Amino acid sequence: MSHWRVWVNKINKIAGVTLIEMLIGIVISSIIIAAMYTSYSIINNTYSRVTDVAGISKSGRDIVSMIMRDVRMAGFKYYYGYNEENEAKSLDERIPRNDYLEFIAGDTAATEKNSHAPVVIYRNKLGDQTKVGTGDPNAPGFEVLPVEDRINNSCCDQIHIVFGDFDANADVARGEQYYKKYKISYFARLLERDGDQFYGVFRSKKYWKQGLNENSGKWVTTAADCPADDCYDGELVREYLTDMSFVALDKFGRIIDADPKKPDKIYDIRSIDITLTFRSATKSGFFKNLKQGTQRQILSLGREPEIFSAEQAAYKRDPIFITVHTRNLGGLFN
């Protein structure tokens, strides 16, 4: 019996936790959890914004590097010239010394679409003005919207670049060509995904098909007509574009209208100023103080100031500008 009393006395001496102490503990724990969640949200949002901005910058750099490479090829034409081994061949096997491909200036409405001018620029035009195929640009995961639904009236320019190539090992019997000619086009289309509308940059590659003994040819884009499937109507390169601008300049820095109907001006082009502006995929956290009804003015190369509503202005925009020299221009292209 004495042992029982000793055990009961020990239990009575054990201190318990009161309701107030429990409530205080819950409050403190809640504050700690809230602080941790807030810190996590801030870090996560900051990371998302940094990643988004990095994606914008990467888009600009990738596209510019592609356009630079193509612009520098504008007007290139291969000259095979005299080759002793080639001259020893029979006439039907001999490679022509000069490019035998037809040249179309495109200086009339009837021939403009087939122009072989080294550089052609169309201002404020969506889609490919020189399209020859029947298919739509390849943009998986997006809906391509009609031109009439454009977001702003100043987007976007398109550029068409023509240059030559050569293959001394071409199998003429199989329809291959010694001398080749390509037209690279960069243009924009209006896209939509999950209710969000923006522009996308597309690139098309056309091939001039003309046999050795033929006097004329045509631009083609189908795999059956192109060597090694080396052409296409248009493929999406980058999305979230807000503007794409091309300005042609002569050797004195004066602006040139790169219109095929003005061929004498096109061959004066010495450089092209390129401006690409991309926006963020989301508008979260970039402009927190933007009030409803607020408008922002956006400037781009060679354009009138563009006024955006608060809905469009909330996105982060990052422009990239570069001047590319057309090193193959300066003489006659044909």
Residue 186: predicted pLDDT = 96
The set of residues, in sequence order, having a beta carbon less than 8 Å from that of 64 and lying 6+ positions away, is 274, 276, 320, 322
Q: Which residues of the chain fall below pLDDT 50?
A: 332-334
Residue 208: predicted pLDDT = 93
Task: Find how far residue 139's CA is from the centre of its chain.
Answer: 12
Residue 119: predicted pLDDT = 94
Could you report the per-residue pLDDT of 177-212, keeping only the tens digit for each?
Answer: 899 999 999 999 999 888 888 899 999 999 999 988
pTM for the model stands at 0.79
Tokens of 96: 């022509």
Residue 163: predicted pLDDT = 95
Could you report the per-residue pLDDT of 118-130, keeping only the tens digit for each?
Answer: 999 999 899 898 9
Domain boundaries, the chain: 73-278+318-325
For the CA atoms of 84, 90, 93, 96, the dihedral, rounded to the nearest 10 degrees, stands at: 60
Residue 285: predicted pLDDT = 58
Residue 188: predicted pLDDT = 93
Q: What percent of the chain has pLDDT over 70?
A: 78
Residue 28: predicted pLDDT = 87
